[in-house]
A = this chain, B = another copy of it.
Amino acid sequence: MAGGQIGIGVIGLGTVGGGVVELLREKAGELSAAVGAELRIVRAADLEPARATELGLGDEVFTTEAWSVVHDREVDIVVELIGGLSPARELVVGAIEAGKQVVTANKALLASHGAEIFALARERGVGIGYEASVGGGIPLIRALREGLIANRITRALGILNGTCNYILTEMTARGADFADVLAEAQRKGYAEADPSFDVEGTDTAHKLAIVAALASGAHPRLEDIYVEGITALSPVDIHYAQEFGFCVKLLAIFSQDESQIHARVHPALVPQDHPLAAVQGPFNALFLEGDWVGPVLLYGQGAGRRPTASAVVGDIVELAREVATGCTGRLPPLGTASPSRTPLVLAPMEEVLCQYYFRFMAADRPGVLAAISRVLGAHRISIKAVIQKGRRSQGPVPIVMLTHEAPEAAVRKALREIDALEVIAAPTVMLRVVS
């Protein structure tokens, strides 16, 4: 900070970076008033000079050398918006080591290296803002890190990928196949040309890792988080779920008890009267349960240039205020000053306890339901509801079932045995239910 001016250095001038530059310019007066000092972009880096030209950033500001942003003495706050692990990791670490405040929207980076980066920021006494890394413009990091700090978060359920929620919403509304809706989403720009990162649940898992760290202090390893995407979902199961009173959402699921945490990503049946059931199209939401506050839902646009820029600039303002008032490092990365809690262990998926939805494809013969029930009973899985669909003239018929709570391990074993039965015509569809 020099002469009532806070120096901002932006690395990455793509969709979000460009939005941040525009927003800082459009609201220059209001934001300076909020901080009590001028916010000024003193350095901005991108590999493509054309982007700088488009944004009207001159040669005195623009550079193709990201490191020159980190090393610029006039830069108080480094804003990392290039995404990916490298060189983002080195740049963020370098910025912290240089004593700069850091803002990042990089969920992959924090999911993989959050423990290291947060520890370093704490050690160096610098602030790090990452509101934009989960839920786009929704101020959910701030809620977990500050507003709900008095709570133990017992459970968090998130719809954290807009592409998946858009696809599921359309599949539900029109009974359409995954592949058809995906192709349409790609045409409309709601899905990437290579959608695997979204539809296979990886993006959601990255965001879950960050939510889990905020809620528990533990940093689960990404490779230990169970992840199942939506590519195998069939509209017929969404339809049957509705008959049982549920909708199907791709959820990030976190919970914790005294000794362990659960963190998993998979499609789930959500009761139609649950607040998450109302989250339609590309919207995101995080549903939290705190031991004092009870249930809280935070909802909004989880992606896009303008909502994400809103979150990034909210972080810039907060850190700029700390620079201006001389109290950088005031807020620890996870909201707790000391990582004192005993590190919690991530429970293996086999230990998950929940209700299940099954669709068996069985020969249309007497005694089939009895055979299935016998196997489930042997594994102590009890049946809550069954819909046996009308007979067909030929071919297998669906038997749709909801269970009471059962352990995942027992369910897997039971399904292996059931699928080996001679009367079963196709692998059984299994979906998990949240209550």
* Nearest-CB residue, chain B, relative to A337: B36
Interface residues of A in 143-197 (CB under 8 A from B): 143, 146-152
Does A387 belong to the interface (CB within 8 Å)? no
Evaluate contact between B33 and A311: CB separation under 8 angstroms.
Answer: no
Does A275 belong to the interface (CB within 8 Å)? yes
Q: What's the minimum C-beta distance from A5 to chain B, rounded to whole angstroms?
A: 14
By a CB distance below 8 angstroms, the chain B residues around A23 are 150, 292
Q: What's the minimum C-beta distance from A406 to chain B, rounded to whole angstroms?
A: 30
Interface of A is mostly: mixed
Given contacts A36-B337, A325-B330, contact A27 B150 (CB under 8 A): yes
By a CB distance below 8 angstroms, the chain B residues around A307 are 292-294
Does A224 belong to the interface (CB within 8 Å)? no
Interface centre among A273, A292, A326 (most CB of B within 10 A): A292
Evaluate contact between A146 and B31: CB separation under 8 angstroms.
Answer: no
Evaluate contact between A314 and B150: CB separation under 8 angstroms.
Answer: yes
Evaluate contact between B336 and A147: CB separation under 8 angstroms.
Answer: no
Evaluate contact between A300 and B310: CB separation under 8 angstroms.
Answer: no
Evaluate contact between B317 and A150: CB separation under 8 angstroms.
Answer: yes
A208–B341 alpha-carbon span in the complex (Å): 40
Does A338 belong to the interface (CB within 8 Å)? yes
A23–B151 alpha-carbon span in the complex (Å): 9
Given contacts A293-B300, A299-B297, contact A33 B143 (CB under 8 A): no
A297–B137 alpha-carbon span in the complex (Å): 11
A299–B292 alpha-carbon span in the complex (Å): 15
By a CB distance below 8 angstroms, the chain B residues around A294 are 137, 300-301, 304, 306-307
Evaluate contact between B299 and A150: CB separation under 8 angstroms.
Answer: no
Chain A, residues 268-298, CB within 8 Å of chain B (1/0): the string is 0000010101101000010000101111111
* Nearest-CB residue, chain B, relative to A36: B337
Interface residues of A in 256-276 (CB under 8 A from B): 273, 275
A285–B314 alpha-carbon span in the complex (Å): 22
Evaluate contact between A293 and B310: CB separation under 8 angstroms.
Answer: yes
Q: Which of B292, B313, B329 contacts A150 (CB 8 A)?
A: B313
A311–B292 alpha-carbon span in the complex (Å): 9
* Nearest-CB residue, chain B, relative to A19: B292
A252–B80 alpha-carbon span in the complex (Å): 39
A27–B153 alpha-carbon span in the complex (Å): 13
Given contacts A33-B336, A142-B147, contact A137 B310 (CB under 8 A): no
By a CB distance below 8 angstroms, the chain B residues around A293 are 137, 300-301, 306-307, 310-311
Does A35 belong to the interface (CB within 8 Å)? yes
* Nearest-CB residue, chain B, relative to A299: B297
Interface centre among A33, A290, A301, A329 (most CB of B within 10 A): A33
Does A331 belong to the interface (CB within 8 Å)? yes
Does A139 belong to the interface (CB within 8 Å)? yes
7 contacts between A and B (CB under 8 A): A137-B290, A137-B293, A137-B294, A148-B310, A150-B310, A293-B306, A293-B310
Minimum-distance CB pairs A-B, first 3:
A139-B147, A327-B327, A137-B293
Known interface pairs A30-B152, A150-B310; 5 further A-B residue pairs with C-beta atoms within 8 A, sorted by A's residue number:
A34-B336, A139-B143, A150-B314, A292-B310, A326-B327
